[in-house]
Structures are given as C-alpha cells and as structure tokens.
Structure 1
Amino acid sequence: MPSEQWTHPEPGDGPAAVAAQPSPEQVIAGLRATSEGGAELTQLLTPEGQRVPSERFDRYVEDVDDETLKNLYRDMVLVRRADREANAMQRQGQLGIWVPLLGQEAAQVGSGRALQPRDMAFPSYREHGVAYTRGVDMRELIGIFRCTDHSGWDYQAHRFHPYTIVIGNQVLNAAGYAMGQKFEGKVGDEGGEATICYFGDGATSQGDVHEGFVWAAVYDAPLVFFCQNNQWAISEPTERQSRLPLYQRARGYGFPGIRVDGNDVLACLAVTRWALEECRHGNGPVLIEAFTYRMDAHTTTDDPTRYRLSDELEEWKLKDPIERVRAFLARNGYADQAFFDSVQAEADQFAAELRDYTFNMPEPPPDRVFSQVYAEPSPVLEAQREEYLSYLDGFAAAGEH
C-alpha cells in the first residue's frame, strides 16, 4: 500500500513527503502553504496594507478609487459588527443558533460587490456579508436563526436565493439555474447573466458539489463556484479532505480554478469580476477558492478550542481582512481617524437597531410554519396544518378544566 502523503505541494514544487518522516524542508513548505496560501495565491493587498500590482487582475479594479475602498471598508465593519451582535444575542437566548462569519468579511463583501444586479447568488448559511451586499436587510436574516421565518426576503428582487442548510445542496440548485440561463440565451456578451454559488471547504467532500461541477462543465453553465476555504470543516482540517489545493480540483472537470487571498477584499473583488466576466461571455464555469480563516466557531453549538490551537488563531489575526484595508487607507492618507470613528459609530448604531428589532420581534402564529411552503395550496400540507392546530387546541381545552 502507498505511504500516507504528508504534504500536498503546488505544481512544480517537487514530490510530496510520505510516511511519517518528512524532511525539515518539507515540513516548512507544508506549513508555509497552509498559512500563506501557496505560490499561486492571488493577492492585491498584503496583510500590512501594501498594494501588490497584478498584471492579470489590476484592470478589474481600475475603477476602485479611495472612496470605493472606503465603502468596502465600511461594508466589512458593519457586517462584522452585526455578526458579533447576533452572536451575543444567541448566547443570551434570543436566537436558536448563529453561524458566525468572523474573518470571512473580505471574501463575502468583495465577491458580493462584484455581482451585477441581474446576476443570481446561491448562499449556504454563512453568507451574511453577501446578503448585505445584495440589499437584504440584516433583520430579515435574523428570523431564520430565531426560528420565525424560512427566509424573510424576496429572493427574486434581491437576486439572492434563500439560505441552504443541507451541506452542498445549493450547488445543484445553482447549477440548474445557471443551465437555465444558458438555455435561454442569457450569456454570450457583456450584457449577459451569471450565477455565483457559495460553499465551504467541507462541502467539497459532498457528492452534490461534484455533481454540480459535472453538470455545469458539460453545459458550459455561467456559474462561479465560490469556495470559502476557512481551513476547518467543523473540526476537520482541509488537508484531511483533499490531496491537492481545492482550486486545482477544477482541472478534473475541465474548467479553470484559481486561489485568491480570501482576506483581501480588493483581490476578491477583482478575481470574482474576472470569473463572472468569463461566465457572462459563455466560457463556462470557474472555481474560486478564497483562502481565508474562520476566526470563530463553526456555529454557536461548536467549541473550536477542542480541535485547533490558539497559536493558529493568533497567526490569522495578523491577516485580518478589515485591518489591512484600514492600514492601506491610513498609510496613503485616504482616511483619517475621524472617518474610522464615524464608521465605528455607524456600525454600533447598526447593531443596536438589529438588537432592538430582535428583542421586540413579535411571536408568529403557530400556523406560520405552513405558509409559503408551496406556490399553490397542497392538500397534504393543509391536512397537516389542520391536524397540528387541532393538536394545539387540545392543550388549550385541557387548560380550561
């Protein structure tokens, strides 16, 4: 039997170490690839806030001036503040569960702002930042986690599909939708449509994701597969799921794959714009691996201290997506302390309004769970509704005696 592979190098880096005796050089190479994203990582802003020129991608952010970058900074600060508030509210018993996005703001805001109004987005359950960029009110998200709504927004108006809890299932939905765009002739030029689908590194181990890859590839569907590799599929690290970097899996399906620094909002914006352009012109799907890090728990039911070291978290804090934009703006004189203070004050107000709404949210009637399940009435669902209401009435009758 072949020895267990120890590291999974980039193309051209030489063979992987095997068995349990890697050389010191191989250990260092493996650690560097894990912490930095490898040689093929696309980055436009370093963690220190320095601009890195890119011959390939600079043209996709030529319109990003200091005001645009300040708006991207504002987006990320507001989204993070709302995320932290929701996390706290769950701990206080106001939400049934919360799915934190801490550390993934750049991947979500950058890719979300790359979308055109006519494009469609399919999220999993962590894409609060993408929802924000699509105009979904954060209060409409809260109902899902307070268990009062399936999804509170008009997904056609916002071009943002309802959250999907089943791991990877949204990839099949997105593939089918993108195939429809292709069949209806909505691709082929700059005015075409595209679809983006979000999932995590853990979802790449699900069959639904691979089926979506196959169908999108065969039909040249205008679909951007956006994988947020936050390094942990709950408690399983990425290296236990794949022998190769995730973006390289696209080769097996016949379409391009690229790895972007998921903590770099400018790079995420540029790479996603490029990928969407490829799709709109009818060149088929693209896989983006946004190399980022989940700085909080998988959900509020998870304890990440049981499976990862605090040193790892501290290392990734130095690559914080918000701080690198702040450093760039300050270093270049594009923003002063008054600007940063005003954004923080706006974020605090944003969170306070979200909190007030949540605490005062009216309890829905019992039959609410049966509404808006199907486009047309279903006899089976109506029968279930009547049975459930009758069951509840039995408790009320018993209380009268």
Structure 2
Amino acid sequence: MASRTKFDEVKTLHDIEERFETVQILNEEGKIVNDSLMPDLTDEQLQEMMRRMVYTRILDQRSISLNRQGRLGFYAPTAGQEASHFALEKEDFILPGYRDVPQLIWHGLPLEQAFLWSRGHVDGMKGIEKLNILPPQIIIGAQYVQTAGVALGIKKRGKKAVAVTYTGDGGSSQGDFYEGINFAGAFKAPAVFIVQNNQFAISTPRSVQTAAKTLAQKAVAAGIPGIVVDGMDPLSVYAAVKRARERALAGEGPSLIETICYRFGPHTMSGDDPTRYRTEDLDNEWARKDPLVRFRKFLEQKNLWSEEQENGTIEQAKEDIKAAIKKADNAPKQKVTDLISVMYEELPQTLKEQYEFYQAKESK
C-alpha cells in the first residue's frame, strides 16, 4: 500500500464547501425553523421591518411606471431583494451598487434626490457627505475596493462604525471584488461585504459565473468569515448582518455574506427582457419564496400586522412618491457648468477652459 503524503492531509474542496450551508430562520410558510438564531427584536422593530419592505416594493412598482413614462432615467428593479436592508446604524457608511437605492433612502437620502440621481442630475447626490453614503456605483464591483478604503479610514479614525457594501452574483466575478475583501481582511478593516445572489448577472446564470458551490466560500481565500443565508428571509439577513457588524466593531475584521435571493423584474429598465433567459416555472418557484409574503404570514400569526397597516403603508408610499417626483420635476434644469463644477475639488486647466466657455454661453 502506498504511503500517505502531506498532500493526502490537505482539506478537500468538498470539506470546505460543507461549511457553507444556507442559514434560514423563517421558512416560506412564515414559521420559525431555527430558534437559536432568532434575533432579539421588539414587536415594533418587526413591524418596522415589514413597513420598510412594503414601502420598498411600492417604490419599485412606481419607479418602473415612472421610468416607462419617461420621468425617470436609469432604473434597476429591486423587487425580491427587500430583505437586505436591515441591521445598520446611521453612523455606518453605505457604498451601494446601482440596485441599492432603497438602502440609501432608509439611510436618509430624500426620495426626490433619488429620482434626480436616476435622471443624472447633479443635485441627486447633493449633501450626501452628511449621510455617510456614496452615490450608487455603476462600475460592477468597484464599490468593494472603495469599501475596503472607507473601512480602513473608519478604523484609523477610531470611529465605532462599519462600511457596508453590496453587489450581485455577477459582481463577485470581478477583480475588484477579490481585491476589496483581501485588502480589508489583511488590515482587519471594519467592513461588511454583501453579495445579493439573485441568480442572474443580467442574463448570465449564476451556475456559469464560477465553479464554486457558493459565493460565500470565496471568503476563505481572504482569511475572513463567510456565510450563506436565505436572502428571502429578513430575519436571517438581519441576524447575519448584525453579527458581522458586531465582529467588525470588536476589531475582528470584515465578513462576507451571500444572500440567496431573486430579482422578480428585469435587470434594468434599459431593454432587458428576462423572459429570454428565465422560465415561467422558475419565476413561480421564487414567487412562493417572496420575502413580503412569508414575513406577512409570520407577523399575522403574532397579531402584529393587519390589512389596515399594509394598506396604510401603501398609501403613504404612494403619497410620498407623488410629492417627491413633483419636487424632482420642479428642480432647476441642470446646466453644463453645474456638471463641470462638481467633478473635481480643483478643476484642471482643460476643464477650467470648458467651464468658462459654457459659462459665457449660459449667461447670454
């Protein structure tokens, strides 16, 4: 019999992947299936979670309608991913992708500014330095590198806060993704990296993104914890983010969280047709896992949610959106000089010349 070598003692890929089973607290029927992981939330906090998810779903529906009317510019639908918006504090810094506008709104960004951002107006992100947010990143995965830097800055300043970022499963294939988690891990920067695995990077299925069984296991190479959670279960996502935040504040470094979810709509409203790469059966399968449906069942069983509360939230969302789009419509028309003036703290000579040229034209 051949003698054993050091290579025989190396952990197999299967051994590693077995550590990344999907964590679930609330199942599709609204039943708690893992009491030991249940976060300590008051009734009011549970109701607020539901209110935010309902509000966000209405915001998504109305934003799609506004886009089709030509009243919004770029828009990436969010329905199906509402469970990802919890367990953060105001002092935390959010670095979003383009599908993460709701997180910014719940962090304090006024609705009308979100609408202006969609239109490409400079006032869309005006004053965001007071909110601890960056504008939604259009370059896929670039926010991961930025998050590592922001988190290191938080650490160097001794602040009790974390930097939180999001990307999709497609974003985890980008070089910036690996550089960001590796840098943050090396310096134990207080970051929480979230991959919203909604199964498709535009039309590319997750199955051909990587040979890895999970995206969370990519954390192993960076020497940081990784976890897979049911991304349609608000309680699982809340518990995972809360724990990752606690680790970061305790100086233990960053974490990587993969949320298994599904986007019910197209990738963006810019011509994507999901019926070309997704089946009706697949859509129906995921519709049964809808985070709003299961959380509504859970709260109703505890007598914490009613049709009246839901309808009130829907009407409030519609009123807020109507008022916000009116404000956006009434915003001053953007000038070329407005755009140039915010590009650099100190304009280079070429832009100074352009600024002066357009300033002269605009003054006529």
CA RMSD of aligned residues (A): 2.3
Q: 1:311 to 1:180 in 2, by over 3 A?
A: same
Alignment partner, residue 21 of structure 2? 40
Is 1:142 the equivalent of 2:115? yes
Could you tell me how far apart the structure 1 residues matched to 2:170 and 2:32 are? 31
Q: Deviations over 1:20-79 (max 9, x none)?
A: xxxxxxxxxxxxxxxxxx972122211211122342x33xx21x1222111111111111
Could you tell me how far apart the structure 1 residues matched to 2:15 and 2:348 are? 55
Alignment partner, residue 202 of structure 1? 170
Q: What percentage of residue pairs aligned between the two structures are identical?
A: 34
- Three-state SS of the structure 1 residue aligned to 2:167 is strand
Structure 1 spans left out of the alignment, 5+ residues: 1-8, 15-37, 187-191, 397-401
How far off its partner does 1:87 sit? 1.2
Q: 1:280 to 1:85 in 2, by over 3 A?
A: same
Paired AA for residue 162 in structure 1: P
Q: 1:209 to 1:39 in 2, by over 3 A?
A: closer
Q: Deviations over 1:378-398 (max 9, x none)?
A: 4332212234456789xx9xx
Alignment partner, residue 243 of structure 2? 274
Alignment partner, residue 26 of structure 1? none
Larger displacement relative to structure 2 (157-166 or 350-359): 350-359
1:79 and 1:128 in contact (8 A); partners too = no
Alignment partner, residue 90 of structure 1? 67
Paired AA for residue 26 in structure 2: L
Could you tell me how far apart the structure 2 residues matched to 1:365 and 1:12 are? 55
Could you tell me how far apart the structure 1 residues matched to 2:123 and 2:197 are? 26
TM-score by length of 2: 0.89
How far off its partner does 1:252 sit? 1.2
Q: 1:361 to 1:303 in 2, by over 3 A?
A: farther
Could you tell me how far apart the structure 1 residues matched to 2:14 and 2:233 are? 21
Could you tell me how far apart the structure 1 residues matched to 2:176 and 2:123 are? 22
Alignment partner, residue 30 of structure 2? 49
TM-score by length of 1: 0.81
Q: Deviations over 1:306-340 (max 9, x none)?
A: 11112111111111111111111112222232222
Alignment partner, residue 283 of structure 1? 252
Would you identify which runs of 4 or more consecutive aligned residues in structure 1 move more than 4 Å?
9-14, 388-393
1:151 and 1:163 in contact (8 A); partners too = no
Alignment partner, residue 180 of structure 2? 212
How far off its partner does 1:181 sit? 2.3
Q: Deviations over 1:190-211 (max 9, x none)?
A: xx32111111111111111111
Alignment partner, residue 25 of structure 1? none
Is 1:242 the equivalent of 2:223? no
Structure 2 spans left out of the alignment, 5+ residues: 1-12
Alignment partner, residue 18 of structure 1? none
How far off its partner does 1:164 sit? 1.1
Is 1:259 the equivalent of 2:228? yes
Paired AA for residue 92 in structure 1: Q
Structure 1 residue aligned with 2:267, among 294, 298, 301?
298
Could you tell me how far apart the structure 2 residues matched to 1:153 and 1:367 are? 15
Alignment partner, residue 289 of structure 2? 319
Is 1:156 the equivalent of 2:108? no
